[in-house]
Structure 1
C-alpha cells in the first residue's frame, strides 16, 4: 500500500497531524482501483459458485467476536469501551467469526449447507512477524453445515479460482492436519497435557533435538513427512503403520488423498501435517495457499466448528463448517499498474447524450467544470469533438 507522506513539517515537539498510525496506510490511485478490481473478481467468482455475500459490521461486542470459535485470540483485537452501552467493543480482526455469529442467529433456520462470502477490511493490534501492516483486506467464503471431503475440496478449488481470476499465477497449496497431535495423544500415543503442549511446540519449531528431550521421540518421523504431496503422504502413511496400532490416522490420510485427487492439477500440492501457524480454530483439515512472486501466504482455510449461543431461548449452537480467508494485499501491490484507460475530456456545454453513449461503450469521461480546465492537465487521452473522441496532442 502507498505509504503516508507528511505534507508539512511538524511543529517542534508536536506530532505531525498528517501522519497515520504505524501499520496503517492510504491506498492511492491506481492501486485503489486495482484493489477494487481484485475484490470484485474474487467475489464474483464466489457468487458464480452459489455463495451469497454478507456484510457484517466493522465493530462488535468483544464477547461476541471472541466466543464463536475456539482459539480466537483477544490480544489481536483493537478494543475500546462503547460510550452508549459501556460494554467492551472490538474492531474485527477476522471476519470468519462474524459469519459464525450470523449463521447461528440471523440465519439459524436457513437450510444447510449454507454458502456465504464476504469482503472487507480487518484490523489487528499489531503486525505479524515481518509483515508490519495492521489493516488488511480479507475476502473469504464459508460452507456452514459441512466439513467432509467434498466441502474441503470445494473450498480449496474455490480459493484457487478466486486468486487465479484476480491475477495470481503459479498457485500452490500446502495441506495440514491441525489436530494431529491431539488425535495421536488421545488414541495411539497417550500423553499428559503438559507433554502434548511441549510436543506441539517443538514440532512447530521443527527442532528434532528438543522434540526428543520433551518426550516426543516417537513423533520425529513427522518432521520429515513434509514436501511434495505424493512423497509426504507416503511418509505419513509409513509413520502411521510403524508406531500406531491399527492406523489412527488412516481416515485422515484417506481424506487427504481424496481431496488431492479432486484438486488435481489446479495447483501444486504439498503437505506439512504438523503445521499450525494461522490455524487457531481449524479442526481436522487445513490448508495454506501461495502464489509465485508474492511474499508470504495469501490465505488459509480448512474445517472448523461454530460454537456459542444461538437465538434467545435456544440451546447453545454448535455446527461444523469449512471455508477459507484470502488476504490479497500482496497481489494488489505486486500487480503491474493498470494500462492507462481511455478518458475523454468533456468541454463545457458538451453533448450529454454523446457522452453517455461513450460511457456505455466503456470509455471514461471527465467533464470540464470551468473554462480553465484542460484535457491534458486532467489526465485525459481524448477530447469529445463534433465527430466523437479525438486524441489529445
Structure 2
C-alpha cells in the first residue's frame, strides 16, 4: 500500500466532515426528541451479536448484506448488524417482554457488505421506530403518521407515499397453488411491472381460472385509492381471501389522507419488497429526483417468533444522512467568540458563563484564524464582548 492509498476509503464507505457532521447530529437529536414525544423509548442494540439471532426472520437479502466474523471466545458465527428491526424484535420478545403495546425508536450505524442500491452507502445511519402488540388499523396509521412527521421535521419537501399489502399477493398465491419455483419467476415479473408478461405467465402456469384472472388484475392495480375502488371489488370477487387485506389497506390510506392531505398517496399491489418477512402493509416515501425510498417500512408479525414471542409488529426506518442531505434542516448557529489564551481567572469564569449561555468560545492562539462574531477584550479593567467588524 502506498502512502497515497492509505488515505483512501473503501468503496461505499464515507466520512462526514464539518459542518455536515454537526448538521446530522443536530438532526438526530431533533428526530429522537420527536419520536420521544410520541411515546417511543430509545434503544441501542449491540453492533455485533450471534448470527442466528441477527438474521431471524429476515430473508436471504439481509443474509447476503451482513458482514460475518467468528467469535474467538465461543467459536460461533457473529455478524455486524445490517438492520435494526430483528434486534428490536429480540428486545421486545426477550430482553423486556412487556405486556401490551411497546414502542421503540433507535438511531445508529449499520453495516452492509454491499450497498442496497447505487444511491446508498455501506454504513448508513439508520433511524427508525417499531411498534409491537397491536394488530389494528390504528397501529399502522400511527407508524405512518410518525414517519411522515419525521420527514417533515427533517425539512424534506414534496413527499409522495406509496402503499402496498403483501397479504393480497399471499392470498392470491395460496388460492392459485403457486409453487416455490413458480413464485421465483412471478416475483421477477412483478418487479418489472410488465402486465403483458404477467398475463402470458399466468395463462401458461395457473390452472384455476379465478386465480389466473386475479394475478392478471393484480398487475394492473397501481394508482390512487379512489381510482382503484372498482378493481378492488373485482379482485375480491375472484379471490374472497383478499377482502380483509384490502379493507385494511383502504382504512389506513383514508386516515393518512385525512391527516396529510398535501401528501400524494399511491397504491401499488405489486410492491413485494421484504416479502420474506413482511406480513401485511408495506410502504415507502419518495421525493422527485431521488430514485430510492427516503423512508420505508411495513408490518412483520413473525419476526419475534424465533425468540418465543410472535406479536403484531410494524415499523419504519430511514438513513439519517440521506435525510440531512435531501432536507433543508439547518441547526441554529451559535455565536462564535474569540478569547485570548491566557491564565486570567476572571477571563476563565466569563468564558464558562458564555458557554453556558450557548455561545462557542475558542481560546485563540496565533495559529487560530476563525471568522468570529465577537472577541473578548479588557475594557475599563473588565472582560467584555466586542463585536467583530466584517473584514
Q: Normalized against structure 2, the TM-score is what? A: 0.86
Give the aligned partner of residue 111 of structure 1. Answer: 99
For the pair 1:285 / 2:281, whether they are aligned, the reply is yes
Give the aligned partner of residue 304 of structure 2. Answer: 307
Give the aligned partner of residue 310 of structure 2. Answer: 318
CA distance in 2, matches of 1:248, 1:41: 43
Give the aligned partner of residue 298 of structure 1. Answer: 294
Q: Contact between 1:115 and 1:144, CA under 8 Å: does it hold in 2?
A: yes
Q: Contact between 1:79 and 1:91, CA under 8 Å: does it hold in 2?
A: yes
Instruction: Compute the displacement of 1:87 (Å).
Output: 1.4
358-367 or 263-272, larger mean C-alpha shift: 358-367
Instruction: Compute the displacement of 1:280 (Å).
Output: 4.2
Give the secondary structure class of the aligned counterpart of 1:139: strand
Flag the 1:279–1:190 CA change in 2: closer, same or farther, 3 A: closer
For the pair 1:24 / 2:13, whether they are aligned, the reply is yes
CA distance in 2, matches of 1:359, 1:295: 43
For the pair 1:259 / 2:252, whether they are aligned, the reply is yes
**Which deviations, in whole Å up to 9, do the C-alpha atoms of 1:292-332 show, x marking residues without a partner?**
5555211211111223444xxxxx33222111112232222
Give the aligned partner of residue 126 of structure 2. Answer: 138
223-232 or 95-104, larger mean C-alpha shift: 223-232
CA distance in 2, matches of 1:111, 1:296: 37
Give the aligned partner of residue 191 of structure 1. Answer: 178
Give the aligned partner of residue 206 of structure 2. Answer: none
Report matched runs for 1:166-185 at 5 Å. Answer: 166-185=154-173
Q: How many residues align?
A: 368
Give the secondary structure class of the aligned counterpart of 1:159: helix
Instruction: Compute the displacement of 1:42 (Å).
Output: 1.4
Q: Contact between 1:344 and 1:380, CA under 8 Å: does it hold in 2?
A: yes
CA distance in 2, matches of 1:390, 1:100: 54
Flag the 1:80–1:366 CA change in 2: closer, same or farther, 3 A: same
CA distance in 2, matches of 1:391, 1:15: 40
Give the secondary structure class of the aligned counterpart of 1:211: helix
For the pair 1:356 / 2:352, whether they are aligned, the reply is yes
CA distance in 2, matches of 1:294, 1:358: 42
Give the aligned partner of residue 60 of structure 1. Answer: 49
Instruction: Compute the displacement of 1:201 (Å).
Output: 2.6
CA distance in 1, matches of 2:161, 2:326: 20
Q: Contact between 1:180 and 1:274, CA under 8 Å: does it hold in 2?
A: no
Give the secondary structure class of the aligned counterpart of 1:351: helix
Q: Contact between 2:202 and 2:216, CA under 8 Å: does it hold in 1?
A: no
Q: Contact between 1:355 and 1:365, CA under 8 Å: does it hold in 2?
A: yes
**Which deviations, in whole Å up to 9, do the C-alpha atoms of 1:316-359 show, x marking residues without a partner?**
33222111112232222234576764211121236233323323
For the pair 1:211 / 2:198, whether they are aligned, the reply is yes
CA distance in 2, matches of 1:33, 1:65: 31
Instruction: Compute the displacement of 1:70 (Å).
Output: 5.2
Point out the structure with the larger helix share.
Answer: 2
Q: Contact between 2:217 and 2:235, CA under 8 Å: does it hold in 1?
A: no
Give the aligned partner of residue 3 of structure 1. Answer: none
CA distance in 1, matches of 2:182, 2:25: 48
209-218 or 163-172, larger mean C-alpha shift: 209-218
Runs ≥4 residues deviating over 6 A = none
CA distance in 1, matches of 2:83, 2:42: 16
Instruction: Compute the displacement of 1:199 (Å).
Output: 2.6
For the pair 1:43 / 2:32, whether they are aligned, the reply is yes
Q: Contact between 1:346 and 1:366, CA under 8 Å: does it hold in 2?
A: yes
Q: Contact between 1:147 and 1:304, CA under 8 Å: does it hold in 2?
A: no
**Which deviations, in whole Å up to 9, do the C-alpha atoms of 1:23-81 show, x marking residues without a partner?**
10110011111111221121111100100000111111111111244566311101111
Give the aligned partner of residue 382 of structure 1. Answer: 374
CA distance in 1, matches of 2:170, 2:323: 35
Q: Contact between 2:112 and 2:122, CA under 8 Å: does it hold in 1?
A: yes
